[in-house]
Amino acid sequence: MTELNALTIAAARDLLRAGDLTSTALTQACLTAIEGAGRLNAFVHKTPDLAMARAEAADAWLKAGDAPALCGIPIGIKDLFCTEGVPSQAASRILEGFCPEYESTVSAQLRDAGAVMLGKLNMDEFAMGSSNESSVYGNAINPWRADGQDLTPGGSSGGSAAAVAADLCLGATGTDTGGSIRQPAAFTGTVGIKPTYGRCSRWGIVAFASSLDQAGPMTRTVRDAAIMLEAMCGHDPKDSTSADLAVPDFEAMLTGDIRGQKIGIPREYRMDGMPAEIEALWSGGSAMLRDAGAEIVDISLPHTKYALPAYYVIAPAEASSNLARYDGVRYGHRAKLGPGDGITQMYEKTRAEGFGPEVQRRVMIGTYVLSAGFYDAYYNRARKVRTLIKQDFDRAFAQGIDAILTPATPSAAFQLGAMDDADPVQMYLNDVFTVPVNLAGLPGIALPAGLDAHGLPLGLQLIGRPWDEAALLNTAEVLERAAGFVSKPEKWW
């Protein structure tokens, strides 16, 4: 019998509506699992009292009838989302002690849909990282293991991925700036979707790179992702980049039929030195979609090789601007000042103490590329490259391509600390398959499709047309069903 905390959102929803399960029992099962999983360091601010109060309210709503699909479902919230009265630090020392007096739009929509917040989840500091090793809370740890070694759950949404994979919650929120939902999903054998830029409000989410950041759900199945995404989407007048578009019933559009669709395979994603396991997984995914009635088409995205360099100019530039507000004046950490120290010393000491090495590195890069004499040489040029990357995708979709299939990551999860002494660029290469999607503002989903030689999950990525998450989810569910991935990590924590 499936343990309550291991249920899918869809299965739990049906049991709750039928009266065969209560949200209080389901929530208690998750809280018990969280207490026993401290070794994973996934939940960093636990809210058990709030969770049980919301679960009781959800049970009353369910009994009254007409409750939304997420009513009574226990979820985790990434520490990047501001939550009223609950610490929201973005995993940074500089926001130590910050408890917002307001709720982010996305977490408010989930709350209003009856979802039960279990607590806040670990992440890379200010969402800057691909391994969850830059957090002030310490590393989040992947529930999957190889040779007894601690592995990264990916980043920046590593806590969210680890919590879902370890059955600590039924779903979790993540954010994706260059792959921070999809890469952790691939590393942990879970499903993560980054919707089209503007589909989910960014209001109340601590900003990294404003033109790239987008919230999305992390779940166990594609159907669960469809259910949770619908609750997270919608127009928000408080966010000028939020799209005023109707939100489809994503679950209702999971027809399982992709006959006649054209799936593009971009030749530029066949990188030198790509592991044979990733190549085989990709080929296998293509065959599964072909067997389901889709036509597989080779396509070209010629500016792909410039995506990472462009991203690592644009994202740090926007970060350096967004993080200027953390100065010790209004909220969060403030350094102790010595005799004779003025406001300049307060800024310098506070930011030196409050920001970790990766955040400092990106702020310095961003400040450099925005400075006089380098703005045109770097930032403006990167923006032009971004336009060319978007045009590559537009051209492919204009030629009738319905979705694009690629690997999600260049490898399975790697050992924590493995890149401590490496060039930072080696870490950045983890985002090689995911970054172009953010630069083009497109929806992308990662789902588990196999295991490597060490028994670790490997993921595939599907990229969809703008605003067509419904079709993307439908294609993903067809691939999910064909892949038949049911593996779970053995419990060691």
* CA 298 to mean position of chain CA atoms: 28
DSSP annotation string for 430-469: GGTTTHHHHHHT--EEEEEEEE-TTS-EEEEEEEE-TT-H
Q: Which of 160, 186, 232 has its CA nearest to residue 433?
A: 186
Only one residue has tokens 């679960």, namely 55
Query: pTM of the predicted model, to two decimals?
Result: 0.96
Query: What number of CA atoms fall less than 13 Å from residue 43's CA on the CB side?
Result: 27
Helix H or strand E segment including 75: strand 74-78
Q: Which SS3 state, helix, strand or coil, does residue 296 take? A: strand
The pLDDT of residue 444 is 98
* Per-residue pLDDT in tens (0 to 9) along the chain, 493 residues: 679 999 999 999 999 999 999 999 999 999 999 999 999 999 999 999 999 999 999 999 999 999 999 999 999 999 999 999 999 999 999 999 999 999 999 999 999 999 999 999 999 999 999 999 999 999 999 999 999 999 999 999 999 999 999 999 999 999 999 999 999 999 999 999 999 999 999 999 999 999 999 999 999 999 999 999 999 999 999 999 999 999 999 999 999 999 999 999 999 999 888 899 999 999 999 999 999 999 999 999 999 999 999 999 999 999 999 999 999 888 889 999 999 999 999 999 999 999 999 999 999 999 999 998 899 989 999 999 999 999 999 999 999 999 999 999 999 999 999 887 777 777 777 889 999 999 999 999 999 999 999 999 999 999 999 999 999 999 999 999 999 999 999 999 9
Q: Which of 101, 140, 449, 224 has its CA nearest to residue 232?
A: 224
Note whether 72 and 171 are within 8 A (CB).
no
Q: Which residues contact 373 (CB under 8 A, 6 or more apart)?
A: none
Q: Which of 123, 76, 103 has its CA nearest to residue 131?
A: 123
Q: Which of 111, 100, 162, 129 has its CA nearest to residue 315?
A: 129
Q: Which tokens in the block code for residue 35? A: 């207490």
The pLDDT of residue 225 is 98
The pLDDT of residue 418 is 87
Could you tell me the CA-to-CA distances from 419 to 33, 131, 147, 346 in Å, in that order? 31, 10, 18, 33
Q: Which SS3 state, helix, strand or coil, does residue 309 take? A: helix
Residue 75 bridge partners (DSSP): 117, 171
The pLDDT of residue 158 is 98
The pLDDT of residue 1 is 64
Pairing of strands 444-451, 457-464: antiparallel
Q: Which amino acid is at 479?
A: L
Residues serving a catalytic function are 78, 156, 180
d(CA 164, CA 181): 12
